[in-house]
Every structure is written in structure tokens, then in C-alpha cells.
Structure 1
Amino acid sequence: MKKVQEFDIIESEEERKEKLLDYYLSTDAGSIDRLHMYHFLRGYIFQGNFSSPIENKLIKGGCKVLDIGCGPGTWLLDLSNKYENSHFFGVDIKPIFPQEIKPNNLEFIETDVTNGLSFHDNEFDLTHAELMSLMFTPQQWDFVLSELIRVTKPGGYIEIADRRSGYVGEGPIFRRLTGSMWESHLNRNIDVKLVYNLDSKLKLLSNIGKVHRIEKDFIVGPNGGKIGLVFQDIAMSFFNSDIACEFISKEMGISEKEYKNMIEELDEEFKQTSTECVHVRFWAQKQLLDEQSY
């Protein structure tokens, strides 16, 4: 029986897209553990879970906070336990957040933010997005930012945090691995440098006040001390995962065996290099109604 070629092409394309989604939004236990670890690492290097000047309101209570792309909800779980009199909401396209065991002041919602947020205008005191730079195209970012601003109260804050897509001083193995990852994102029309320069985009928005930028950097691996070793553990856990092995080896055009040999050598390479990793936070205040009239 002759195969219908067109059907095979459509089926393989759908399978490819599904695998891409699983790769970028992996929900296995290892991925969730890495996200938990990474949350606490970022909190340590910034000395806090947020930089917007809103802690007094959170302590006082009645504050409403939204986190988009909340993943397993680590950031929100941390805050909702600390600020028991305020209210927290998390949204994500994949429901890897806790379904039942969570604080009473925390709610999770499964939704795709690129289709719009279901919340009212001027509802939140703080809207937050972290590690979302590789999820949205530039056009989607424009829409997502407009939605974040829409649901933020006048006088409230918008805060966005991420990691610079490139590294400085990396070795050849790490450069080759990360280069193939950035290339795969470019093929999806993702601007890997957009979020790192997000302050210029935020400044163009008419109802946003001064945009603040905070950067923190460290060295990956043993030469970066405890922080560097923790980040190396997170990176090595990711590169050693089955889904990374399958996806990145295909992107690089090498066998999975060759890929695994590279990862073994990467561990040694980190000892010989001082790869700089930079994290950045932006925060800005939505202007009060009377300020917008000027």
C-alpha cells in the first residue's frame, strides 16, 4: 500500500511542535526541582524575591499580586506564606503548580497569557513575570506588556526579571551548547536579546513612570564559589536530562552518544573557565490617573 506522503509530513510536523512544547515547558520532576533551586538562587543573588518598593503594603495586607508564567509556583508560595494578609494569583499555560495543597491566600489559574488575562482593569498592586524571555515573540511581548499594565492599579508596580541570553568568557563546549539553543529560539521568531533590553521598550509606554534596572552577575562553576556551583548543578541537571539530550543533539546535528560525551567534558571545562552569567530585573510604577493627564 502506497503511503500518503502529505499526511506523514503533517503528522511529523505536529509531533515536532509537541516535542518542542515539551522541551520548552517541561513538566517532569527534574525540571520542577531545577525551577525550585533556581528560584532560591535568584532570591539570594538579589537579596529578595522582588525589587519593587511594595513590601510595606504586602505586610499591611490587602495587597493583590499576579505572577504570569508561574510554573510550579515557587515564587508565589514563598511570598504567600510570608505575607499572609495579602492575596496572590498565578497563571500558566501548563498546570504544574500545586492543585490542592497551597495557602488560602493563593490561587492558580491555567491559561495562555498571549490570549489575554481574564482579570479586570486596575486590579493588582504588583504584576510580575520571570524567566519568560524565551517564551514570547516580540509581538507577543507587546501584547503581554499591555495586559500587565492594564491589570495593574495606578500606583502599582510591574516587575520583570530574567537572565541575559549570552554568557561572557565561556569555554568552547558551553558556547556550542548554548549557541544551538539560542539558534533554536531564533527559528521560532524569538528575540533572545529583547528582555535584557526591556527598559527601552517599557520607556515607550505612556503610562509607565521611571524604569529601574538592577543587574547581578556571578561566575558559573567552582571559580564562582557556592553560587557558581549551585548554578552549575542546575545547568548540568538540565543538560543531562533525557529531553535536553534528545532535543539539543538534534539541533547540533550530532548523535546522542556524542552529546553525552560533550556533557561529561563540560563538567571539567567549568573548572577551567570563569563564565560570567548576568541576571537582570526591571521594575516601574504605573502612573496615577492625575499624573497621566499631564
Structure 2
Amino acid sequence: MGNVSSYSKHKRSIKKIPKFSQTESEHESQEKLLDFYLSTGTDSIDRTHMYHFIRACLFQSNFSSPIEDKLIEGGCKVLDIGCGAGTWLLDLSNRYENSNFFGIDIKPVFPQEIKPKNLEFIEADVTNGLAFHDNEFDFTHVENMSFVFTPDQWDLVLSELVRVTKPGGYIEVGGRRNSYVGDGPIFRKISSAPFTSCSKRNIDIKLIYNLDSRFGLLPNIGKVHRIEKDLIIGPNGDKIGIVFQDLALAYYTSEMAIKSLSEEIGISEEEYKSMVGKKLIDELKQTKVEVVHVRFWTQKQLS
């Protein structure tokens, strides 16, 4: 069942998230900016759902670790941190009814009542540590957190994933390269704004693409496998490219994006809206903007 003292040490992480003062300050500004990337709005959740299915289509799977036989067999215990709306877990828990799934996120945007019996969600801040025993899970997973975790937080999260994963179990991290190839001037200007805002919060947006090197520094880790899949944004990328374009446009034209990104770029909201409308769509017809998605998976070794 793992080390009980280690469990007690990390138990503090399951707690309600503190409320922040409403006084405007640089700290408050950064909190609002973080809310932009952790949005609980319906539109944001809809985009999360759609992005899940885009990634599954791109990789032709929900995960790359060789764990499916055990999931089908049953009794497998799976943890997803930073689970958001829980789309990945909802998909898996319905497919593998004899295994058990757990999701953790700082904001309770996941379903509270209507969910499979083999799925449990927990509101907690994963950067405080995971309140689970050592060697508890057969499969641990984190995806799409490159705009959220600082390098130090990534180190903590990865070490915690290793700690709570059973020897012989699998650890998988997914994300995308946060830079583009073949982009035009309009897309480049708009897409670089979130990257700039991240740097102000000490977020290294390029770290996710080279996370295998950080994995290699952890104890009890086997070979780190890397899988990359790329797509072209827009009509030159076939059906999946058009769907990704629609998803990107929904993000860039959201109310919070219009306000936050126009300020970051240094233009008026009206100028920003003009750029992310017909001008951007026309540019994407002429370009082949490549976005690369990446997964890393590894197996925990015996101590």
C-alpha cells in the first residue's frame, strides 16, 4: 500500500483553493491571466473536449503507453493530474469499466455528479504534492500543462508522478511544441502573445518539448520514449487542419482572449478583432502552419 508517512506528508494538498483579494495589483493581474489559461467558462470547456478528440485522432489513441491490456483486464488504477473538465478520464473510464480512474485539478470544472462509478475527481493543487501512497497507480498521466507549470513545478510534478506510480507502471506526459513552422505574419503576431504572457509568470513554454531530458534525471526511470505527430493548421491540413483552425479561432476570438491578447500585443480590441477575423482566415489559406504534438512515456523500474 506504500509508505504511510509519505502519504501523510502530502495529505495537505487536498484542500479548498484560497480566495484572492479583489484589490488590483500586479499579483492580481497575473492571477487573472492564469485564469485565462484555466478558464471554467462553457466555451473553454467545449474547446477542451474538442481538443481531446483532435489529439486522439492525431495519435490514433488516447495514450501511447502499453497499458491497454491491463486496462481491459481490470483492476488497473489510473491518475490524471491537471484533468480540467475530465474529458480524457471520462473517455477512458467508459471504455475500461473494470479499471479505476482518478482526476485532480485546482478548479472543479469536472463533473460533480453525472460520471461513471469507476471515476473520482478531487479538487486540489497538485503543486503542493499528491495525497496518495507511494507505488499506488498503474498508470499516471498529465497533458496540456505547458502554460501552467513553472520549471520548478514541473520538477515537483514529475517526481510525484514517479513516487505514486507502481514499479512496472507507466508514466505519460503530453503536450505540443509551442512554436510554429510556416506561419504568416498575422498568425505569428497573435500566437506569440500568449507565449510572451507566460514568460512573465516564469513559464518556459519550450520546456514541454524537451521534457524527456528532465525525465532522465529522475530515479527508477526506464527508457523515455518520445512520439511526435504534426498537423497543418487550416484548409491545407485537410479535415483535421480545418477542425484545429476552428478550435484556434474560437480561442483567439473568446472575450478574455480579445482583452488579454490585444493588451499584450499593444493594439486596440477593434484592431485585434479585425486581425483574427477574415484576415487570419485568408492567411491560413495561403500558408502551411505546422504544429507538432508530442508524448513521452516511460516505465517505472524496481528500486
Q: What TM-score, normalized by structure 2, do the two folds share?
A: 0.91
Q: Shift of the alpha carbon at 1:267?
A: 1.3
User: What is residue 4 of structure 1 aligned with on the other side?
Assistant: none
User: What is residue 293 of structure 2 aligned with on the other side?
Assistant: 279
Q: Which amino acid aligns with 1:115?
A: N
User: 1:129-148 residue pairs with structure 2 within 5 A?
Assistant: 129-148=142-161
Aligned 8 A contact 2:105 2:123 in 1: yes
3-state SS of paired residue (1:208):
coil
Range 15-24 or range 221-230, more displaced = 15-24
User: What is residue 99 of structure 1 aligned with on the other side?
Assistant: 112
User: What is residue 257 of structure 1 aligned with on the other side?
Assistant: 270
User: What is residue 156 of structure 1 aligned with on the other side?
Assistant: 169
Matched, 1:248 2:261: yes
Q: Which runs of 5+ in 1 are unaligned?
A: 1-8, 290-294
Task: Name which of 134, 142, 147 aligns with 1:121.
Answer: 134
Task: Name which of 206, 222, 228 aligns with 1:215.
Answer: 228
Runs of 4+ more than 4 Å apart: none
Q: Shift of the alpha carbon at 1:205?
A: 1.5
Q: Shift of the alpha carbon at 1:18?
A: 3.4
Task: Name which of 188, 193, 202 aligns with 2:206.
Answer: 193
3-state SS of paired residue (1:140):
helix
Aligned 8 A contact 2:34 2:148 in 1: no
User: What is residue 243 of structure 2 aligned with on the other side?
Assistant: 230
Q: What TM-score, normalized by structure 1, do the two folds share?
A: 0.94
Distance 1:214 1:27 in 2: 30
Distance 1:52 1:14 in 2: 39
Distance 1:132 1:103 in 2: 25
Q: Which amino acid aligns with 2:283?
A: E
Matched, 1:65 2:81: no
**CA-to-partner distance for each residue in 1:11-53, whole Å, 9 max, x for gaps?**
3335413321321111111100000000001001101000000
3-state SS of paired residue (1:35):
helix
Q: Shift of the alpha carbon at 1:244?
A: 0.3
Q: Percent identity?
A: 69
User: 1:23-102 residue pairs with structure 2 within 5 A?
Assistant: 23-102=36-115
User: What is residue 266 of structure 1 aligned with on the other side?
Assistant: 280
Aligned 8 A contact 2:233 2:242 in 1: yes
Distance 1:134 1:57 in 2: 32
Range 214-223 or range 178-187, more displaced = 178-187
Matched length: 281
User: What is residue 34 of structure 2 aligned with on the other side?
Assistant: 21
Distance 1:196 1:14 in 2: 28
Instruction: Give RMSD over aligned pairs.
Output: 1.1
3-state SS of paired residue (2:25):
helix
